[in-house]
Amino acid sequence: MNIKYTLPTLASLILLTGSPFSWADNPIIKHIYTADPAAAVFNDKVYIYTGHDEASPTDRNYRMDDWHVFSSSDLTTWEDHGEVLSLDDFSWASADAWAGQMIQRGDKYYWYVPVNNDKQGWFGIGVAVSDSPTGPFHDALGHALISDNMTPDETLDIDPTVFIDHDGQAYLYWGNATNNGIVKAVKLKDNMIELDGSIQSIGTDQVPDFTEAPYLHERNGIYYLSYAAGWPERIEYSTATHPMGPFTHKGVILNADDVSSPTSHQSIIEYKNQWYLVYHNADLPDGGEFRRSVAMDKLYYDNNGNIKKVIPTKEGVGTPGIEEGQYVVKNVLSHRCLQPLDGATSDGTQIVQHSCDDSAAQNFTLKHSLDGRYKLVHQQSGKLLDISRGSAANGANAILWSDYDGPNQFWNLTRERDNSPLFSIENDHSQRLLESLNASTEQDAKVGQWQDNGGNQQRWWLAKPGAIQIEPIAYPDRVLTYRANGVWMEETPAPLSSSQFKPVPGLYDSTGVSFESVTHPGYYLRHRNYTLYMEYNNHKGTFAQDATFYRRSGLSDSKGVSYESSNFPNYYIRHEYYKLRIDPIESQLDRTDATFLEVSPLK
């Protein structure tokens, strides 16, 4: 369907598949526009709290109504936890869900956000609180913690950042240079929702060319205050020996000419003994000043503790590999899928190949490590794909076994060659490949390991459970693929999961159908202003209707299917210049453009 490399003996398989490789490149979030990243590490996982740019390509101002949270343990696969905070959560707010910052204190998570404050001037800084880093969050105060009348010399009270020092003292910083505004700072009480003393100013003698986006972090007793400077904005920093300064200017972290967005906003974190700069650019299709994208690169210090300038990379920071998540593992030779024998779940259960049926017994979860290896976790049992007795011998059986971090429980997944849909699965301990033993194609034949022999019994394809791809009947080499700027017909979706959908009962009418992202649960195909998008279901407005369609017999070919809008009768999903929208059908060409095939990789 979208693969250029083919093998004649595998034609039927390849027509249904593509490479599930997801390269860990920048921007790290590709399905929506995100900005102003606030990164944090909680429980050995990285969380990034972002604003959500919703401006159209023709808008000339920001349109931001909510915030999202993304998390990752490998910096390659980012889970979108959805719209976890919005303007609706603050009764005193009217607009502008701008750049915030998250911090943990005790068993609570506090999110400081600036919003347009109807009741006390222009902008105010509110506090949302939760028992979990992914929410649900609620307004901790019912009013702004910081309001205009508290800072008469600060026009825009925005871009809060929060820091807790080693002695437990918490500090809040914010500011913007409009009308000569400067960085403001104040201590917080232990409850994190009350000020502890008077608001202080950090002048431009300490942070030259300050524009906005202050951020404080500490390393080896040095306090680093980074900020956006000038216009277009670059990231500079100053240092001090105390969180309140005085600060001494040190230099530039990120040049304005090195990013595609005129605004800049950063956070700096350490994760697994490596420091990172998290920032935004405008590199996604149709990106721009009001449609930005979060990116991430490594950050280094010299021997004197000075931050070295960061040069943005396309490659980013994650280890290239297959996306984490649930998969069905299908053998190329037999066209059968991995599962435990008879669905058993005890330690030592033999792994076999069985007719693919998309059952839970055939679901494995890939867990990616920062060194590029994987664990394959059987969903039903929670146990790992292992090799019996840790053997390194040819013919040793593949089994289920409880996780004990043994080297024989790690696997290397290698793409065969460019544009190939085939993968080898190599045991990290034995360096031998997973295969259907003796090249058997029989039902419930044993699976084990053997040295690389180039046979199809050692080639595997990984499919998302329950996934389909939607193929325009007139363009069999393309599939519907979602990006931040809409849904398009593409030949080589990257990643493959951006072209995979899970059909579910219609959100508005269960007799209809809705299409959920297999990678981002809670995101659905919906039309907005007649254009098709993949968007998060916030349960507001007409979302459910916009995301519900009725399957009809193909308008141009009864072997296909057409999708009629639930709230716009006689309007159908169709492609126009490779972009998907809903339209009335008026011609034979329209009927062809509105006819599709649903293709399941497991059939």
pLDDT (tens digit per residue) in 437-454: 999 999 999 999 999 999
Q: Tell me which of 308, 337, 371 is where a domain ends.
A: 308
Q: Considering its fold, how many domains does the chain have in total?
A: 3
The Cα–Cα gap between 136 and 218 comes to 29
Is residue 259 helix, strand or coil? coil
Tell me the pLDDT band of 6, cut-offs 50, 70 and 90. Answer: very low
Torsion over CA of 158, 164, 167 and 168, rounded to 10 degrees?
100
255 and 278, same domain (yes or no)? yes
**Phi, psi torsion values for 136, nearest 5 degrees:** -75, 150
Check: CB of residue 523 under 8 Å from CB of residue 536: yes
- Given a cut of 70, whether residue 12 has pLDDT beyond it is no
Residue 222 sits in the same domain as residue 80? yes
Residue 378: pLDDT over 90: yes
- DSSP, collapsed to helix, strand or coil, labels residue 146 as strand
Backbone phi and psi for residue 570, each to the nearest 5 degrees, phi listed first: 70, 5
Q: Based on the domain organization, do 456 and 499 belong to the same domain?
A: no
Model confidence at 269, pLDDT cuts 50, 70, 90, reads very high
Angstrom distance (rounded) from CA 501 to CA 601: 12
Over the range 420-446, which residues count as b (16 or more CB within 10 Å of their CB) and which as e? bbbbbbbbbbbebbbbbbeebeeeebb
pLDDT score for 417: 64
pLDDT of residue 22: 40
pLDDT class for 320, splitting at 50, 70, 90? low
Which stretch of 71-80, 236-245, 430-439 has the lowest confidence by average pLDDT?
Answer: 71-80
Same domain, 480 and 443: no
What does the pLDDT read at residue 457? 97
Catalytic pick among 212, 426, 435, 490: 212
* 70 pLDDT higher than 60: yes
Angstrom distances, CA of residue 382 to CA of 273, 360, 444, 543, 597: 29, 12, 21, 36, 35
Measured CA to CA in angstroms, residue 217 lies from 89, 164, 238, 411, 450 at distances of 29, 9, 11, 37, 50
Say if 7 falls within a structural domain. Answer: no
Confidence of residue 603 (pLDDT cuts 50, 70, 90): low
Q: Is residue 15 part of a domain?
A: no
Query: DSSP state, 419?
Result: T
End position of a domain, from candidates 399, 428, 463: 463
The DSSP string of 203-229 is: -TTTSTTEEEEEEEEEETTEEEEEEEE
Any bridge partners for residue 517, and if so which? 501
- Asked whether residue 18 is domain-assigned, the answer is no
Q: What is the pLDDT of residue 14?
A: 28
In tens, the pLDDT along 282-309 reads: 999 999 999 999 999 999 999 999 999 9
Mean pLDDT estimate for the chain: 92
> Mean pLDDT throughout 576-588?
95
Q: How far apart are CA 263 and CA 229, in angstroms?
A: 9
pLDDT at 368 over 80: yes
Contact 17, 421 (CB under 8 A): yes
- Return d(Cα 516, Cα 585) in angstroms, integer: 25
Cβ-based neighbour number of residue 555 at 10 Å: 22
Which residue is catalytic, options 53, 74, 386, 471?
53
59 and 199 assigned to the same domain? yes
**Could you tell me if 179 and 124 lie in one domain?**
yes
Whether residue 551 is contained in a domain is answered as: yes
Query: What is the pLDDT, as a whole number, of residue 600?
Result: 82
In our burial notation (b when 16+ CB lie closer than 10 A, e otherwise), range 569-597 reads eebbbbbeeeebbbbebeeeebbbbbbbb
What is the enclosing helix (H) or strand (E) of 401?
strand 398-401
Which of 431, 463, 495 is the last residue before a domain boundary?
Answer: 463
Predicted local confidence at residue 15, as pLDDT: 29
Q: Does residue 92 lie in a domain region?
A: yes
Average pLDDT over every residue of 497-520: 95
Token output for 477: 């080499």
Domain co-membership, 253 together with 208:
yes
Residue 5 lies in a domain: no
Q: Are 226 and 247 a contacting pair, CB within 8 Å?
A: no
> Which regions of 272-350 does DSSP assign to beta strands (E)?
274-281, 293-299, 321-322, 325-331, 336-340
> 473 is written with which tokens?
């009947």
179 has pLDDT over 70: yes
Q: Alpha helices of 432-574 — where are they, by DSSP H?
A: 543-546
Highest mean pLDDT among 147-156, 318-327, 524-533: 524-533
Return d(Cα 112, Cα 184) in angstroms, integer: 14
Per-residue pLDDT at 1 exceeds 70: no
Q: Are 584 and 571 in contact (CB under 8 A)?
A: yes
CA-to-CA distance for 436 and 388, rounded, in angstroms? Answer: 15
Same domain, 456 and 510: no
Any catalytic annotation for residue 297?
A: no
Lowest mean pLDDT among 208-222, 313-327, 424-438, 494-508: 313-327
At residue 289, what are phi and psi to the nearest 5 degrees? -55, -30
CA 425/CA 358 separation, integer angstroms: 21
Confidence band of 115 (pLDDT split at 50, 70, 90): very high
Reported in sequence order, the residue ranges of 479-560 that DSSP labels E, i.e. its strands, are 479-483, 486-490, 501-505, 513-517, 523-528, 531-536, 549-553
Predicted local confidence at residue 7, as pLDDT: 31
Looking at the fold, whether 278 and 415 belong to one and the same domain comes out as: no
Residue 21: pLDDT band with limits 50, 70, 90: very low
Domain that holds residue 527: 468-599
323 is catalytic: no
Position 371 scores a pLDDT of 77
The predicted model gives 567-574 an average pLDDT of: 98
Q: Which tokens in the block code for residue 410?
A: 């790690």
Q: What is the pLDDT of residues 383-398, one digit of tens each?
A: 999 999 999 999 999 9
Average pLDDT of 420-425? 77
Residue 42, CA distances (Å) to 38, 325, 337 in order:
13, 20, 36
Residue 584 β-bridge partners: 571
Residue 315 lies in a domain: no
Q: Are 395 and 491 in the same domain?
A: no
Measured torsion, CA atoms of residues 233, 234, 240, 244, in degrees rounded to the nearest 10: 20
Is the model's pLDDT at 126 over the cut of 60? yes
E-assigned strand segments in 74-219: 79-86, 93-95, 101-105, 108-117, 123-130, 138-139, 161-164, 170-174, 183-188, 200-202, 210-219
Which residues are paired to 181 by β-bridges? none
What's the CATH code of the domain at 550?
Answer: 2.80.10.50
Whether residues 68 and 177 share a domain: the answer is yes
**pTM score:** 0.87
User: What CATH number corresponds to the domain at position 116?
Assistant: 2.115.10.20
The answer to whether residue 6 sits within a structural domain is no
Cα(518)–Cα(493) distance, integer angstroms: 14
Please name the residue that has the structure tokens 């700072």. 185
Query: Percentage of residues in the chain with pLDDT exceeding 70?
Result: 94
241 and 260 in a common domain: yes
| DSSP category for residue 372 | S
Q: For residue 462, give the 3-state DSSP assignment.
A: strand
